[in-house]
A = this chain, B = another copy of it.
Amino acid sequence: MSDNLYDVAYNLEKALRESDDYKNLKQLYSDVNSDESASKMFENFRNLQLNLQQKQMSGEEITQEEIEQAQKSVQLVQQHEKIAQLMDAEQRMSMLITELNKIIMKPLEDMYGSMQ
């Protein structure tokens, strides 16, 4: 990789690390993880989501009980202010990363697009 590309990528890494979105996300993660009850609730929610996703991808049937359990778990975390804020922050970070990727991938998109 050319030195310049490497340097600029590190500039972007630094800018991301110093961005309000990142700092906010990190703070909320730390807040939730240092609160035992919040952290358990969030972990439980994540595990349920992951489990349902895996079942969906493998084509396994999802029971009515599992759906209700997942819905309750969503309601529970949404009522927890810090977790709700954390999930919002994660969503914003995810959109930001998508935007950054779109910008960076533009040269390749231009090239492949023009050759169709």
> A-side interface residues toward B, CB under 8 Å?
1-2, 4-6, 8-13, 15-22, 25-26, 29, 33, 93, 96-97, 99-100, 103-108, 111, 115
Contact = CB atoms under 8 A, between A and B. Distances in A.
Given A4-B18, A97-B105, 15 more contacts: A1-B21, A1-B96, A1-B99, A2-B20, A4-B15, A4-B19, A5-B12, A5-B96, A8-B15, A13-B104, A13-B106, A16-B107, A22-B111, A33-B115, A93-B108
Give the interface SS of chain A, mostly helix, strand, loop or mixed.
Answer: helix
A100 B96 contact: no
A2 to B, nearest CB: 5
A87 to B, nearest CB: 14
